Amino acid sequence: MVKLYTEELGRTEAAAFGARKTKSRFGSRLEPFTTGIFLLYHKDEHSPFSIQDVEVTGQNGAIREDLNRFLIGNAVVEPVVRFVERAHRDRELYEILSSTLGLLNIIGITKGLYLLSMYDLNFLSIMGYKPDWDNCVKCSNPMQNGETFSDAAAGFPLCFRCHTSSSIAVSPGAMRFVKWALQTPLHYAEKVRMEGETLNQIRQIIEHLFLCTFQRVPDSWHQMKNILNYSRYASEG
Ligand SMILES: [Zn+2]
């Protein structure tokens, strides 16, 4: 079975008969992270799909050849598999998923983490969770300049009065990125410069938002965090 996110059917899956054979008629066209045009067939609407043909539009092979890229690729795909309802159709989600995979295939690894963060924030926004930047998520009072916090229990943004010992302080740079990411095309990830600590904070805010929204984070993040030490992926300036 191949898991697919499609423009017309949303999240679905389809059987690829014989795909694991060495001389499969699909060749390498069903590798993870591939984008393409799929011809699916089913007997009636209650039967599962089978894949009849695939025309690859993006091989995205570089994602599978480099461990760091592969980890980020998994982090891109897993929220869709895990948190998006079956048959939920969303044009915007389809667009960001396919363009993120295409960009991840060519972008540098540091910028790949910025790209993933932009993708995660857009994913949350498309799923209906877009933070209200101006007011505290807990007490609804207007946020004061320069005093923003975030934590897994309440979410983001939290005001000074509502923050607890388990909250993290959010720097103006991290705050700026989070707002910017939701109104900027994904390929701008290439132009981002930030310090490692800022990236660390951004990843933590995203983790808090996922925990508040879905009560969990993608499993693939654990492995990614163990291997990619975010503070090493800084570009000064
Ligand atoms: Zn508050």
* Cα 143 to middle of ligand 1, angstroms: 8
Q: Which residues surround ligand 1, an ion (CB under 5 A)?
A: 136, 138-139, 159, 162
* Cα 159 to middle of ligand 1, angstroms: 4
Average pLDDT over residues 68-90: 94
What distance lies between CA 230 and its chain's CA centroid?
A: 16
> What's the pLDDT at 171?
94
| 88-146 confidence digits (pLDDT tens) | 899 999 999 999 999 999 998 889 999 999 999 999 999 998 888 899 999 999 998 77
* Cα 165 to middle of ligand 1, angstroms: 14
Average pLDDT over residues 6-20: 89
The yes-or-no verdict on residue 160 having pLDDT over 80 is yes
The yes-or-no verdict on residue 236 having pLDDT over 50 is no
Average pLDDT over residues 145-157: 91
**Boundaries of every domain in the chain:** 1-59, 62-232
* Cα 148 to middle of ligand 1, angstroms: 10
Domain 62-232 sits in CATH 3.40.710.10: no
Look up the pTM and report it. 0.92
* Cα 138 to middle of ligand 1, angstroms: 5
- Average pLDDT in the chain: 91
